Amino acid sequence: MAEHLASIFGTEKDRVNCPFYFKIGACRHGDRCSRLHNRPTISPTLVLSNMYQRPDMITPGVDAQGQPIDPAKIQEHFEDFYEDIFEELSKFGEIETLNICDNLADHMIGNVYVQFKEEDQAAAALQALQGRYYSGRPIIGDFSPVTDFREATCRQYEENNCNRGGYCNFMHVKMIGRELRRKLFGRYSRRSMRGRSRSRSVSPPQYYHRRDKERERDHDRRDHRGRRGGGDRHGDRHEGERRRHGGTSRRSRSPVREGSEERRARIEQWNREREEKGQ
């Protein structure tokens, strides 16, 4: 019996625990859900609810005045945010995964998931974020049960064919460009390659790197959500990304991004807002 319960924990068959909360760390029923949301008291993963405010919040691709926004501008806005939050969170420890949802439903819109290497790093970050504001809104942080982002992520979205759109209940993880990924996660590559295989057992290694291997292994195998392995468009892109990873001679060809000075100024602003609110 106990074995049976363990095998169905957090699945559709589990009538007690909510499978959505367990797998994705967010459920559209929120506190009114008929099944249990077991909030972890400690976890390497934090969720910062609804933190990213997209410029096209009301209708995707369109601003508040109804004018279309250049997709490149939307991406730039997103990457500025991604870099801000990465730099801020990385003060507390090595970031394994930083995922920001592109979903539109209230319980997932703008959610930021950060998985640290260690639980105590997540705890320190959560403590430091308590009472802080970003862009004038309080940061709502919590430990998240998600440790395996492959289970939480919508593969159809990655393949550009999720027919549930923004209201899908699986994570639609917004992608950052290769340059930014290399800039942010590249700092870990050498160190983590050495330590990883022997010391890591609980939380999975950095998601995007591992996913390539998973895809190779999953080749020709489909699961219930129609995942595909092998050489799809995204897989190929990541493969190329990984090969170039660590190359130091190559200069960035992307347009000049906002300088780190401006970014630091914005982070200062976070702290000022915190003081002004008397937290």
Instruction: Catalog residues that contact Zn ion under the rule CB under 5 A.
Output: 18, 21, 27, 29, 33, 154, 157, 162, 164, 168
DSSP element (H, E) containing 190: helix 189-199
Q: Compare residues 26 and 184 and give the one whose CB is closer to Zn ion.
A: 26
Residue 209 identity (one-letter amino acid): H
Give me the least distance between CB of 24 and Zn ion, in Å please.
Answer: 10
Q: Compare residues 164 and 181 and give the one whose CB is closer to Zn ion.
A: 164
Concatenating the DSSP letter of every residue in 162-180 gives -TTGGG-SSB-BPPPPHHH
- Cα(127)–Cα(142) distance, integer angstroms: 10
Q: Compare residues 182 and 227 and give the one whose CB is closer to Zn ion.
A: 227
Give me the least distance between CB of 170 and Zn ion, in Å please.
Answer: 5
Tokens found for residue 81: 């945010």
Please choose, from the candidates 142, 165, 160, 127, the residue with its C-alpha nearest in 3D space to the C-alpha of residue 21. 142
Residue 27: how many CB atoms within 10 A of its CB? 20
Q: Are 81 and 98 in contact (CB under 8 A)?
A: no
Please choose, from the candidates 100, 108, 110, 105, the residue with its C-alpha nearest in 3D space to the C-alpha of residue 52. 110
Give me the least distance between CB of 18 and Zn ion, in Å please.
Answer: 3
Give me the least distance between CB of 26 and Zn ion, in Å please.
Answer: 9
Give me the least distance between CB of 124 and Zn ion, in Å please.
Answer: 28
Q: Compare residues 146 and 168 and give the one whose CB is closer to Zn ion.
A: 168
For 47, the 3-state DSSP assignment is strand
- Cα(126)–Cα(140) distance, integer angstroms: 9
Q: Compare residues 39 and 277 and give the one whose CB is closer to Zn ion.
A: 39
Give me the least distance between CB of 142 and Zn ion, in Å please.
Answer: 15
Give me the least distance between CB of 276 and Zn ion, in Å please.
Answer: 36
For 3, the 3-state DSSP assignment is helix
How open is the CA angle 176-245-187, to the nearest 5 degrees?
Answer: 80
Q: Compare residues 18 and 139 and give the one whose CB is closer to Zn ion.
A: 18
Q: Compare residues 19 and 186 and give the one whose CB is closer to Zn ion.
A: 19
